Structure 1
Amino acid sequence: MKLTCIAVDDEPLALGLVCSFIEQTPFLELKGRSSSAVEALKLLNDEVIDVIFLDIQMPDLNGIELARVLDARASKPRIVFTTAYNQFALEGYKVDALDYLLKPFNYEEFLRAAQKALNYKELINKPAVAEAKSEDEYLFIKVEYQLVRVALSDILYIEGLKDYVKIWLASAPKPLLSLTSLKALEERLPARRFMRVHRSFIVSLDQINSVTRNTLHIGDINISVGEQYKDAFNGFISKWN
């Protein structure tokens, strides 16, 4: 499998380096190069592109702004940002960038980012039957700049924060941190196995050890059941009797 790519950077030396890295990577195919995001839009209209290696600080239209424009498209390429400024990392994460390479980077670092792009392409190209089968057992979560496969049976509970969620697992002492909403995750989880019990918590029904009044217990963790979720939770608990 080959990935079609373009490189976008207003610095000629940086643009040349990225293009040389693409050309020496067997599974990448360079379809074009551009010194501005506006020019890159024309390339994207003329070619089917899998990955853009994209600078952020550029005149007229910067890389983050281009990523937002592309986000509105039904079919959009994945983005690997290449920048000298680490303060854009959070913005890059918010526009669903695949990776974030901080200049100056070497070929090994570039290759790791390219491999992520290839893994993503292979993942979405898996047969639909195989994907449907795995939906009942696994969930793919965006953690930093990669997709992490999480077994549903490993999830204890999910805690919602302001802009993030913490996914607590039976197999790890620390939670996975993902930039998404609790509501978005709730819609992806099977209702027969998971339940929203509080505006800040989704729990795995299989992991509940005991219930006392309006509190449920998962191991040493106590989680209160919110007022608006009590009827649904009590309906589940009634099946225990």
Structure 2
Amino acid sequence: MTVLKCIAVDDEPLALKLVETFIAQTPFLQLSCSCDNAVEAMGLIREQQPDVVFLDINMPNLTGMELARLLNEQPGPLPKIIFTTAYNHYAIEGYRVNAVDYLLKPFSYEEFLRAANKVLHISEESSNQPQSFTLDDEFIFLKVEYQWVRISLKDILYVESLKDYVKVHLEDNQKSVMSLISLKALEEKLPSSKFMRINRSFIVPLDKINSISKNSIFINKTEITVGEQYKETFKTIVEKWLK
């Protein structure tokens, strides 16, 4: 049976205890740890690498929504987020940070279980498919408006984040593709052996880089700056090329 590691985050002791109790009642959930603030939660998420985070929104210093945005900007695997909040006006923002569900306090165990089952379904669905694309993979599918569009990996020049959308720039004067997906989510779909995120807003295919300067790469005539947090990883790749 699939078991999902969880972290619970809430600054209200009773609310936190309720989530802990619901997790304990659910056979496929395992509580790794819990905490009462988002700052501590960020460190625990990096350390524990949970599958799902039950995350309150209104917390001092750093809100749950701000934490979710920060996680979306970080390289590496992203846990599934289920927001728990007493306020219903965050639903749209929750969608923008790819939250799986949004539980409005006070919520029942039935509602909690329904949200947890969504994460389980996503996890099991993913486990029946390759977790990452191999070198033989040639395309991905992206949802564009009301249909799924097949995009050949060899045609991608670079990918640009535009708020809630990504814009996939294509070769040979093909029309760019806009899809309602975060850059983080798309990064996880692309093979890391071929593509690299080089700043908060761009992913580039390594074989399309024409030239490199101290702080930028060039794809045709487009210059893209390498972000500070990505420089070390990019430097390692460049050093391999130059050996």
Same fold (TM > 0.5): yes
TM-score range normalised by the length of the shorter chain: 0.5 to 0.7
Give the letter aligned to residue 19 of structure 1: E
- Output the CA distance in 1 between the equivalents of 2:121 and 2:53: 15
Taking structure 1 as the reference length, what is the TM-score of the superposition?
0.56
SS in 2 for 1:128: coil
Check 1:9–1:198 CA distance in 2 against 1; reply closer, same or farther (3 A cut).
Answer: closer
2:127 corresponds to: 125
2:14 corresponds to: 13
1:43 corresponds to: 44
Q: CA deviation at 1:41?
A: 1.7
Contact kept in structure 1, 2:144 and 2:177, CA below 8 Å = no
- Output the CA distance in 2 between the equivalents of 1:76 and 1:197: 27
| CA offsets 1:25-44 (integer angstroms, 9 cap, x no match) | 00000001100001112211
Runs of 4+ deviating beyond 2 Å: 138-143, 195-199
Aligned-pair Cα RMSD in Å: 3.5
Aligned 1:141-160 pairs, distance under 5 A: none
- Output the CA distance in 2 between the equivalents of 1:139 and 1:119: 20
- Output the CA distance in 1 between the equivalents of 2:127 and 2:6: 18
SS in 2 for 1:58: coil
- Output the CA distance in 2 between the equivalents of 1:151 and 1:196: 16
Q: Does 1:85 align with 2:93?
A: no
1:22 corresponds to: 23
- Output the CA distance in 2 between the equivalents of 1:88 and 1:36: 18
Structure 1: tracts of 5 or more residues without a match = 153-162, 165-178, 188-194, 200-241
1:114 corresponds to: 116
Deviates most, 106-115 or 36-45 = 36-45
Check 1:122–1:142 CA distance in 2 against 1; reply closer, same or farther (3 A cut).
Answer: farther
Check 1:19–1:98 CA distance in 2 against 1; reply closer, same or farther (3 A cut).
Answer: same
Contact kept in structure 1, 2:83 and 2:101, CA below 8 Å = yes
Deviates most, 120-129 or 53-62 = 120-129
- Output the CA distance in 2 between the equivalents of 1:47 and 1:198: 36
Check 1:128–1:86 CA distance in 2 against 1; reply closer, same or farther (3 A cut).
Answer: same
Identity, % of aligned positions? 48
- Output the CA distance in 1 between the equivalents of 2:32 and 2:109: 19
- Output the CA distance in 1 between the equivalents of 2:85 and 2:129: 35
- Output the CA distance in 2 between the equivalents of 1:50 and 1:123: 14
Taking structure 2 as the reference length, what is the TM-score of the superposition?
0.56
Check 1:180–1:21 CA distance in 2 against 1; reply closer, same or farther (3 A cut).
Answer: same
Q: CA deviation at 1:45?
A: 2.6
Q: CA deviation at 1:107?
A: 0.5
- Output the CA distance in 2 between the equivalents of 1:51 and 1:7: 9
Q: CA deviation at 1:46?
A: 2.2
Give the letter aligned to residue 99 of structure 2: A
Give the letter aligned to residue 56 of structure 1: I
| CA offsets 1:211-232 (integer angstroms, 9 cap, x no match) | xxxxxxxxxxxxxxxxxxxxxx
| CA offsets 1:4-26 (integer angstroms, 9 cap, x no match) | 00100000010000110011000
SS in 1 for 2:68: helix
- Output the CA distance in 1 between the equivalents of 2:84 and 2:176: 42
Give the letter aligned to residue 8 of structure 1: V
Aligned 1:60-209 pairs, distance under 5 A: 60-71=61-72, 72-128=74-130, 180=165, 183=167
Deviates most, 66-75 or 99-108 = 66-75
Structure 2: tracts of 5 or more residues without a match = 150-161, 179-243
1:192 corresponds to: none
| CA offsets 1:160-217 (integer angstroms, 9 cap, x no match) | xxx99xxxxxxxxxxxxxx646x45x98xxxxxxx96999xxxxxxxxxxxxxxxxxx
